[in-house]
């Protein structure tokens, strides 16, 4: 999906990227190879230690309470994390706050009511329909650039995620 993003958005050399829910650093490695300056956050202290051993700048931090300056990142990568937020609109506002004007957000979330039944996962607090996600994103102040349906099959049947690429539109910034 990163290649799809690069076709849709412009990132300056050495762009500051935040990877929310960075895990053990797979996306951080890709960002670094492209010459960007990635930072990761995760709630898993073991993942923080592994990423730091690899030389990545990673913090144990909640996506809803970002400890970064306003307008700091050129791009935020949030893949399979926002559904873990109890208050996704609040979390989107926090993400919006740390993105530079005209910066970008890549968001990927699971669709409800697929064969995987993401809404039954006890760690998924916000498995919403596509219309609701798009409405929350727009209300936050983002301009939606592209929405993709990612469909595939798993052993229990068909599954689907939604990928959304959006830009922080400086003329519609919320307070």
> Which CATH number characterizes residue 22's domain?
3.40.50.150
d(CA 152, CA 42): 27
Pick the closest to residue 54 from 86, 30, 77 (CA basis): 30
Enclosing domain of residue 62: 2-172
What is the reported pLDDT for 116? 53
- Residue 113 corresponds to which tokens in the numbers above? 């009511």
What is the reported pLDDT for 127? 65
- What is the tally of structural domains in the chain? 1
Please report the DSSP string for 57-122 in residue order: EEEE--TTS--S-TT-EEEEEEES-GGG-SSHHHHHHHHHHHEEEEEEEEEEEEPSSSTT-GGG-T
What is the reported pLDDT for 173? 47
3-state DSSP call for residue 148?
A: strand
What is the reported pLDDT for 161? 74
H or E element that contains 156: none
What is the reported pLDDT for 49? 98
What is the reported pLDDT for 174? 47
d(CA 61, CA 65): 7
User: Average pLDDT of each block of 10 consecutive residues along the chain (175 residues)?
Assistant: 79 96 96 96 97 98 97 96 88 97 92 58 64 93 90 73 84 50
Q: At CB < 8 A and 24+ separation, what contacts does 112-117 make? A: 114/157, 114/158, 114/159, 114/160, 115/154, 115/156, 115/157, 115/158, 115/159, 116/154, 116/156, 116/157, 116/159
What is the reported pLDDT for 169? 83
């Amino acid at each position: 999906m990163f290649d799809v993003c690069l076709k849709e958005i412009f990132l300056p050399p050495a762009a500051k990227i935040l990877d929310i829910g960075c895990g053990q650093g797979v996306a951080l490695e890709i960002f670094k190879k492209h010459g960007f300056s990635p930072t990761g956050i995760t709630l898993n202290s073991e993942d923080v230690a592994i990423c730091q051993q690899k030389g990545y700048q990673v913090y144990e931090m909640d996506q809803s309470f970002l400890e970064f300056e306003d307008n700091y990142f050129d791009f935020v990568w949030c893949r399979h994390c926002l559904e873990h937020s109890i208050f996704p609109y609040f979390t989107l506002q926090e993400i919006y706050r740390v993105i530079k004007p005209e910066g970008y957000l890549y968001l990927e979330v699971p669709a409800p009511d697929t064969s995987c039944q993401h809404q039954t996962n006890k760690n998924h607090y916000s498995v919403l329909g596509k219309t609701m996600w798009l409405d929350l994103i727009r209300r936050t102040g983002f301009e939606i650039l592209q929405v993709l349906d990612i469909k595939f099959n798993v052993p229990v049947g068909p599954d689907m995620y939604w990928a959304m690429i959006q830009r922080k539109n400086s003329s519609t910034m919320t307070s």
